Amino acid sequence: MVGIFSRHRSLALLASVVLAQLLLLAFQIKRDHDIRLIRYWAVGIMSPVERGGTWGFSSIRGIWTGYIDLHNARKENQQLRAELGELQLRNRELESQANEAQRLSAMLSFHEAHPEAPILAAQVIGASADSASHTLFINRGTRDHIHNNMAVVTPDGVVGKIVEAFPSTSQVLLINDRESGVGALFAASRTHGVVKGSGDPDPRLDYIVNDEKVKPGDVLLTSGDDRIFPKGLLIGTVIDSKPALPFQLIHVQPAARLDRLEDVLVLLSQQEFEPKKTGEASVPLIPDAPPEPSASATDLSAATAAAAGAKPLAANANAAPTAAAPSASSTKPNDSAAKPHAAAPGQNPPVAAKPAAVARQ
Amino acid sequence: MSSMLSAGAHNESNVEVHKYYGGTVIGATFLALLFQVFLHKYGRWAELIDLPLLVTIYFGVSKRNPVSGMFLGALIGILQDALGHDGPIGMCGIAKTIIGYMASSVGAKIDTEHPASRFGLVFILFHLHQAILAVTERALLNQPARFFTPRLLLDSVITAATGVLLFSLLDRLRRQS
């Protein structure tokens, strides 16, 4: 190097002098944004070096952190997996508690919305061993003043009725059981029928003549004709309907989730619920007050009740339907006593087919 | 300064190295710059002649030492830039540094005493000087400088002719060995 410089001393000096003057110029000349040329050059020279240095440093650091410094990764991974499992378990517990709190809150809201109705909360503790029957067991019995034929509901809708009351437990017959029947009416048209179990998850609405216009989504309420369920409780909505003989074949979607019940309410009396007040939207069991039925229907119902000479139901919690009064809830497919009479074509079936009238307090 | 300019005066080649009376180089440089500034007062025709370039070429060729020719060119160029009012200092400095170096290198190899060779040498170095200036202006100032124009051709002819006359005058200031 020194030898080359010595041999070309004059050229090296020339280059040095020219370079010095270039630097002198660079200090004076300004480019865009009043930046001196020497700064442009300095940045231009240093930037690639800086980029290269940054790339090299990041590569080395990546190699270190990605490969060399991973000796604790396996242990840390195991710890994190264990923590994740614990947290998932804890999360499931909290979700379960939150769901339970939500259910209890809904039931409390329901009870607060209807303080006039004696209600007893119960937990579902078991179900039927027979897959053909839709029953379940609750943790309340005769010691809690529970008797047969008491209505069982949830804030969402009707569940079923008590069929066997033991000292500390009771068996509930769900509304989709073959043996079940609930007096029902359409919220809009006030047409009466009976919701009966079919063995399928979804019950059917029976005794609706083919002339009656039924469409999916129509709301069904309890009619109170069965002397078990107070009038006006939400049963469910129509899924579909098709003409059949002698009555329409109507499938009903229960409002209560019958397949995942955990907490229920037992109505200790058949006292009719007051229509839902404004601002109680969280209590769907009692829907908005339906339009007042026609005067003729009301009169006919009252007249039928008077003709039947049914005994009035007591508001007492121990009051049970009389055995003499035919009830839709005791309806069997071939039970002619409980089955409404077939309506003549063009006749209003709820009135004509009404099994029994109920005089109310 | 004079010692720096006379550095390398003992050329290793067999070409004769001329020596001048004391103060000749500095005086000629001073006068060339003075006349260049002075003549500019009387019109743009003075731009036709580049006296500092002629002095750079002459003493570079005469000294026949690239280092001294280079430093003399750098000095004259920087002073010429300094006497300007708008250009950055160093533009002419770079050009005349290179011209001084090349003139010394050429003077050490060929005969530059004949008027024709002097004319040709000045003509070529003039255009080389302009080319270096154009490159520098384009690169550093980002200005569209032209490498060759008819005006430059005229300048180069006049400067070369003036150089032949000036060089014969300066030859009289040589110290007889």
Closest to A352 (Cα-Cα) out of A336, A361, A339: A339
**What distance in Å separates the CA atoms of residue A123 and residue B83, rounded to the nearest whole number?**
106
- pLDDT at residue B43, rounded to an integer: 67
Six token digits for residue A66: 């990605």
Number of compact structural domains in chain B: 1
Per-position b or e across B87-122, b if 16+ CB within 10 A of its CB: bbbbbbbbbbbbbbbbbbbbbbeeebeeeeebbebb
Quick one: average pLDDT of A252-277?
80
Give contacts of A21 with chain B, Cβ < 8 Å: 74, 77-78, 90, 93-94, 97
How large is the ipTM?
0.75
Closest partner residue to A18 (CB to CB) among B94, B141, B142 is B94
Q: For residue range A217-264, what is the model confidence (pLDDT) as tens digits?
A: 999 999 988 888 888 889 999 999 989 888 999 999 999 988 888 889
Six token digits for residue B1: 């300064």
**What distance in Å separates the CA atoms of residue B152 and residue A317, rounded to the nearest whole number?**
123
Whether B54 is covered by a domain: the verdict is yes
Cβ–Cβ gap A21/B94 under 8 Å? yes
Whether B47 is covered by a domain: the verdict is yes
Residue A172 has pLDDT above 90, yes or no: yes
Which residue of A10, A36, A40 is the best one to mutate when testing the B interface, meaning the one whose CB has the most B CBs within 10 A?
A10
The residue type of A269 is S
Which residue of B10, B65, B70 is the best one to mutate when testing the A interface, meaning the one whose CB has the most A CBs within 10 A?
B70
Cβ–Cβ gap B70/A14 under 8 Å? yes
Residue of chain A with shortest Cα separation from B95: A18
Residue of chain B with shortest Cα separation from A9: B67
Contacts across the A-B interface (CB distance below 8 Å): 49
Whether A86 is covered by a domain: the verdict is no
Residue of chain B with shortest Cα separation from A25: B90
Cβ–Cβ gap A21/B140 under 8 Å? no
Least confident of A278-282, B63-67, B107-111: A278-282
Could you tell me if A15 lies within 8 Å of chain B, comparing CB atoms? no
Could you tell me if B75 lies within 8 Å of chain A, comparing CB atoms? no
Whether A304 is covered by a domain: the verdict is yes
Give contacts of B89 with chain A, Cβ < 8 Å: 24-25, 28
Confidence bin at A309 (pLDDT 50/70/90): very low
Residue of chain A with shortest Cα separation from B94: A18
Mean pLDDT, chain A, rounded, equals 75
Cβ–Cβ gap B66/A31 under 8 Å? no
Give contacts of A22 with chain B, Cβ < 8 Å: 90, 94, 140
Whether A96 is covered by a domain: the verdict is no
The residue segments making up the domain with residue A262 are 103-352
- pLDDT at residue A5, rounded to an integer: 65
**Helix, strand, or coil (residue A259):** helix
Closest to B18 (Cα-Cα) out of B101, B111, B98, B99: B111
Q: For residue range B110-145, what is the model confidence (pLDDT) as tens digits?
A: 878 889 999 999 999 999 999 999 998 888 888 888
Whether A89 is covered by a domain: the verdict is no
**What distance in Å separates the CA atoms of residue A173 and residue A162, rounded to the nearest whole number?**
6
Confidence bin at A302 (pLDDT 50/70/90): very low
Cβ–Cβ gap A24/B66 under 8 Å? no
Cβ–Cβ gap B89/A24 under 8 Å? yes
Q: For residue range A186-207, what is the model confidence (pLDDT) as tens digits?
A: 999 999 999 998 878 889 999 9
Number of compact structural domains in chain A: 1
**A residues 31-60 near B, CB within 8 Å?**
31, 37
Q: Which comes out higher in pLDDT, residue B18 or B158?
A: B158
Residue A143 has a CB neighbour count (10 Å cut-off) of 11
Cβ–Cβ gap B94/A25 under 8 Å? yes
Least confident of A4-13, B115-124, B154-163: A4-13
The residue segments making up the domain with residue B166 are 2-7+18-175
Cβ–Cβ gap B74/A24 under 8 Å? no
**What distance in Å separates the CA atoms of residue B53 and residue B40, rounded to the nearest whole number?**
16
- pLDDT at residue B20, rounded to an integer: 82
Closest to A40 (Cα-Cα) out of A22, A58, A53: A22
Q: For residue range A108-150, what is the model confidence (pLDDT) as tens digits?
A: 887 777 777 788 889 999 887 777 778 899 999 999 999 999 9
CATH number at residue B65: 1.10.1760
Could you tell me if B126 lies within 8 Å of chain A, comparing CB atoms? no
